[in-house]
Amino acid sequence: MIFIPTLLVISLVTFMLSTSVPGDPVEQMLNSNSEMGSSANAIASEKAYIDKRKQLGLDLPVFYFSISNSATPNNMYEIPKKFHRQNLERLVDMYGNWEYINTYYKKIRELELAVGDVARDSTNGDALIGIKDNLQKLYFNYDDNTLKASIKNISFWINSFPSLKVLQTPYSQLRSSYMNGVLQHPTIYKKYIPAVHWYGANNQYHHWITKFIVGDFGISYQDGRPVKNVLWDAVRWTVLLSICSIILTYLISIPLGILSAANKDSRRDQTISTFLFMLYSLPNFWVATLLILFFGGGDFLGWFPAYGVGEVDSSMNLFQVIGTRAYHLILPMICFTYGGLAFLYRQMRGAMITTLSQDYIRTARAKGLEEKEVLWKHGFKNSLLPIITLFASVFPLAISGSIVIEIIFSIPGMGKLAYEALVARNYPIVYTVVMFSAILTLIGYLVADILYAVVDPRISYNKK
């Protein structure tokens, strides 16, 4: 019953995180942080920024509605530059008079364009650079003293060179918009009047979640490729490693757990437990390094490749392709598998010991059944509930992968991809991985609940 609501909450949290992270994705994709140069270049740069912002859907309101105050306009999201918008929000919080603040912002832009139209020569080059630097400070600062100092510096440069007198009019308008507008007409009381702005379905979250449902996860900030294509290239390797590792872990741990439970406190039990927990205590990056050093062409044996997934070509048949891939993935598979053996073994052993102490097990033995039949037919099935609970965590691990192992062995899987995306602030990939991990976690719990009822008929989800 709570599957869909939980998924909805997770999607909301994930989306809100994606909108509040530092940095500007548009500038990241355009690789442009300034608009220096002529007015034509500045206008072209701004148009490219606006077009890319529209392509990413960032020109829309964030959610279906917003709760703010009467001082904040309902269309603040229309300000293209993220950092400009954040600075204007601070000014609104300080003074409350959006009409004057908006005029002040436009006058900064007008003076910037006018500066770009001035012909640069050997006499005014330093002055133009100084004016542009101070204009940038106006965009990114809201402290009154800092703004006044920047405006004063602009005046100094303009008045120092006759060729810059053409900037006097836009400068005067800028200065007046701040000194006589923003500072002289504060409406602080508006901050204390709540306001609710309704935007409808044409918002960023609605577009994001509806596209996500149909398999459109956006585009990568790094190369502009669709995220689903980037993920598909990586997820196949992680799924392959994870599935093989899970199968090996269960095939090894469950029989060992049953064997130890059947021989509780014996030397065999103690030996198996000690060995597996020694493996469990070894960090995977250290084991991976040792495997490469001893078996991957290091200072000792060169039995296995130390990195990559192998090169294949169209001339190879299916068995050659499988052999090449398996040969390259042996060492990573060992690192993926050994850590989970002890934990799953411990759960199986504990559950089996509890089951073997039950009355029906003693009854089965008293009836003369063979010990093998007692263990596997009567004991094993009734010891599966803890194992099924652990099975719920298998689904997200199947795509999340291991960052350390995939980086050490240069496997182009999900762990390596997520790490590189996080370092590069490629958030569409990061949050898509987060969403899939959440979805698979919920699916894991759902499958576990279903298996509970299958394994134990006493468990029922009927209302009664």
More confident residue, 377 or 153: 153
Out of 175-179, 182-186, 397-401, 416-420, pick the least confident. 397-401
- Residue partners of 451: CB distance under 8 A and separation at least 6: 384, 388, 391
Residue whose C-alpha is closest to residue 28's, from 397, 385, 429, 380: 429
Q: At what angle do helices 414-423 and 227-262 cross, to 10 degrees?
A: 130
Number of residues that make up the chain: 464
Q: Give 313-341 pLDDT, tens digit per residue.
A: 777 888 887 888 888 888 888 888 887 78
Count CB neighbours of 5 within 10 A: 9
Give the best-scoring range by mean pLDDT among 142-151, 218-227, 328-337, 418-427: 142-151
What per-residue confidence (pLDDT) applies to 35?
46
Between CA 187 and CA 212 the distance in angstroms is 42
What per-residue confidence (pLDDT) applies to 269?
86
Residue 67 has φ and ψ, to the nearest 5°, of: -115, 115
Neighbour-count burial for 265-300, b at 16+ CB within 10 Å, e otherwise = eeeebeebbeebeeeeeeebeebbeebbeebbeeee
Provide CATH 1.10.3720.10 ranges for the chain.
227-455
Give the best-scoring range by mean pLDDT among 100-114, 257-271, 279-293, 403-417: 100-114
CATH topology of domain 227-455: MetI-like fold (1.10.3720)
Q: Which amino acid is at 113?
A: L
What per-residue confidence (pLDDT) applies to 450?
77
- For the cut 90, the answer to whether the pLDDT of residue 402 exceeds it is no
Q: Give 66-95 pLDDT, tens digit per residue.
A: 999 999 998 988 898 888 999 999 999 999
pTM (two decimals):
0.75
Provide the 3-class DSSP secondary structure of residue 79.
coil
Per-position DSSP letters for 234-267, written without gaps between them = HHHHHHHHHHHHHHHHHHHHHHHHHHHHHTTTSH
Out of 34-38, 54-58, 196-200, 259-263, pick the least confident. 34-38
- The H or E element spanning position 111 is helix 98-117
Across the range 302-308, mean pLDDT stands at 78
Q: Give 261-272 pLDDT, tens digit per residue.
A: 888 888 888 898
What per-residue confidence (pLDDT) applies to 298?
61
What per-residue confidence (pLDDT) applies to 290?
86
What per-residue confidence (pLDDT) applies to 5?
85
Alpha carbon 368 to its chain centroid, in Å, reads 58
Tokens of 460: 């029922």
- For the cut 90, the answer to whether the pLDDT of residue 10 exceeds it is no
For 44-48, the CB contacts below 8 A with 24+ separation are 46/80
More confident residue, 237 or 38: 237
Out of 52-56, 162-166, 341-345, 447-451, pick the least confident. 447-451
